[in-house]
């Protein structure tokens, strides 16, 4: 270091304006700076140092205005537009005015109607409008669990909009009817059947020693299934007729609905096929089905919508009764509004409506078609359309819509019985007979006059034939060289 530099006194802290001034002083020996430029740089340094506190406070204020207002009805003045980074030099000169029409009048900003915003995503973002922010509609945010809480109250009772209230001790209906039954009164026996609807078991009601069929349906968060439960309960407790299964009560425990019905000890008609059905027995079955369907229509304004042999039950007394009203529908001027039911027994107009994506209306004559098809199946002992349609739904539906309707064989049944079925299976719904006309037909008029129809004997014979068939099937299942055979009914109907 030169001696001149060593002898130069160091400035005191009181005379040193800041670090930048000292840096300029130290650099004078090596790089001369004009006095005017030194003065400007020193002034800039002083201005920056003195405004640091104010700038930090300003930044804190600006950052605080970016959050949501403290009150939904208050908007801070600086909350919009958001502060932009401070630019200096040429960048500041090049910056243009950045605003749009929404900066002048935020009310012109359109409400999102599609995409993620339309789906409610990003709903927490600050609103650009001057109106107070709107709260989301609770109905749009409802989950299936919130729907579940609407029908199950804190006490554990299941409430179907006041129509029926199910609890562990029974069920109370809106019309004042009450059925008290609970699980402690029941002795569980064998399982009778299982399907998409749930499980059916045979139970014994211990206080009365009465055998019952108990259907167990697990409560699911699905409107269609909830509607099916209340529909069937509503029909069962109001449908008091010899051709409808008797209802004993229902209860609700541990997210399951249980309802108890009359136990029909011979099972459903689809399990009694193959033993042969004489014409007098077929007439008694047809008459019972028509009277049951007519009762639903005339007295309850209900269309069954799922008429098939599976839903016709028999007991060892020879009584024939309808069951399974979960997909039944309320009539509106003799028209039902939805297409539900087994496709194998659908009327042509229903199939056409579905193929055209038109779930339009259809009259009770659609049930008349299903009735006629069921009677032919019971008489033949198998589904009436060709076997190649059993495993091919498209071929099956094509045969129903475009093929000739099936008939009863003329070598086993009279012309009256065959004509009765023809009246049911007219392709055009307006050409089909009504329930009253079917009851007045000579085929059923003769049945009404008969007093000696041996229904009990026929049921015994049919049950014996069923046991023999099941035994052969068990033997065949144990054989390693078993060739599968076609079933007597389409897979959908079993």
Instruction: Say if residue 271 is exposed, middle or buried (CB neighbours under 10 Å; 0-12, 13-18, 19+).
Output: buried
Whole-angstrom distance, CA of residue 325 vs CA of residue 228: 8
At 483, list the tokens.
């060739």
Whole-angstrom distance, CA of residue 463 vs CA of residue 440: 32
Instruction: Say if residue 427 is exposed, middle or buried (CB neighbours under 10 Å; 0-12, 13-18, 19+).
Output: middle
Neighbours of 9 (CB within 10 A): 5
Clarify whether 452 is annotated catalytic. Answer: no
Which of 267, 428, 232, 432 lies closest to 348, judged by CA? Answer: 428
Asked if 214 and 201 count as a contact pair (C-beta separation under 8 A), the reply is: yes
Whole-angstrom distance, CA of residue 134 vs CA of residue 312: 55
- Ligand-binding annotation for 308, yes or no, is no
Whole-angstrom distance, CA of residue 424 vs CA of residue 366: 9
At 19, list the tokens.
């670090």
Asked if 364 and 301 count as a contact pair (C-beta separation under 8 A), the reply is: no
Whole-angstrom distance, CA of residue 180 vs CA of residue 454: 37
Among residues 234, 270, 306, 324, the one annotated as catalytic is: 306
Alpha helices in 259-380 (DSSP H): 279-300, 348-355, 365-380
Three-state SS at 472 = helix
Instruction: Say if residue 196 is exposed, middle or buried (CB neighbours under 10 Å; 0-12, 13-18, 19+).
Output: exposed
* 179 phi and psi angles, rounded to 5 deg: -130, 115
Helix pair angle (279-300, 442-449), 10° resolution: 100
Neighbours of 7 (CB within 10 A): 7
Asked if 280 and 450 count as a contact pair (C-beta separation under 8 A), the reply is: yes
**Residues tagged in the binding site annotation for ATP:** 215
Active centre residues (catalytic): 306
């Amino acid at each position: 270091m030169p001696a001149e530099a060593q002898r130069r006194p160091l400035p005191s802290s009181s005379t040193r304006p800041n670090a930048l001034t000292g840096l300029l002083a130290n650099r004078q020996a090596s790089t001369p700076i004009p006095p005017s430029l030194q003065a400007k740089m020193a002034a800039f340094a002083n201005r920056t140092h003195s405004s640091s506190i104010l700038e930090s406070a300003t930044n804190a204020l600006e950052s605080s205005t970016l959050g949501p207002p403290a009150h939904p009805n208050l908007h801070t003045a600086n909350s919009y537009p958001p502060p932009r980074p401070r630019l200096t030099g040429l960048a500041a000169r090049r910056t243009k005015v950045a605003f749009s029409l929404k900066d002048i009048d935020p009310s012109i900003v359109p409400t999102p109607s599609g995409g993620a915003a339309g789906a409610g995503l990003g709903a927490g973002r600050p609103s650009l409008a001057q109106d107070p922010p709107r709260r989301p509609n609770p109905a749009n945010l409802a989950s299936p669990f919130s729907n579940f809480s609407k029908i199950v109250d804190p006490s554990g009772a299941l409430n179907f909009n006041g129509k029926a209230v199910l609890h562990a001790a029974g069920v109370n209906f809106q019309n004042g009817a009450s059925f008290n039954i609970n699980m402690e009164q029941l002795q569980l026996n064998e399982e009778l059947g299982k399907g998409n609807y749930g499980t059916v078991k045979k139970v014994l009601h211990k206080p009365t020693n009465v055998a019952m069929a108990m259907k167990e349906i697990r409560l699911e968060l699905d409107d269609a299934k909830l509607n099916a439960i209340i529909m069937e309960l509503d029909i069962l407790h109001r449908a008091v007729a010899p051709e409808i299964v008797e209802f004993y009560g229902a209860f609700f425990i541990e997210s399951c609905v249980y309802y108890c019905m009359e136990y029909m000890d011979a099972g459903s008609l689809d399990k009694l096929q193959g033993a042969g059905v004489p014409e007098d027995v077929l007439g008694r079955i047809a008459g019972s089905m028509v009277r049951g369907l007519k009762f639903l229509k005339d007295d309850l304004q209900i269309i069954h919508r799922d008429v098939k042999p599976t839903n016709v039950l028999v007991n060892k007394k020879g009584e024939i009764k309808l069951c399974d009203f979960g997909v039944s529908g309320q009539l509106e001027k003799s028209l039902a509004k939805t297409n539900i039911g087994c496709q194998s027994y659908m009327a042509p107009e229903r199939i056409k409506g579905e193929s055209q994506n038109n779930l339009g209306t259809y009259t009770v004559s659609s049930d008349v078609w299903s009735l006629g098809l069921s009677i032919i199946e019971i008489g033949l002992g198998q589904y009436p359309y060709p076997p190649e349609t059993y495993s091919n739904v498209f071929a099956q539906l094509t045969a129903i819509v475009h093929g000739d309707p099936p008939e009863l064989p003329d070598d086993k049944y009279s012309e009256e019985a065959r004509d009765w079925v023809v009246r049911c299976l007219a392709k055009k719904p307006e050409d089909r007979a009504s329930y009253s006309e079917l009851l007045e037909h000579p085929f059923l008029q003769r049945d009404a006059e008969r007093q000696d129809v041996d229904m009990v004997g026929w049921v015994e014979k049919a049950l014996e034939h069923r046991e023999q068939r099941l035994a052969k099937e068990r033997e065949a299942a144990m054989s390693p060289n078993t060739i599968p055979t076609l079933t007597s009914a389409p897979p959908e109907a079993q």
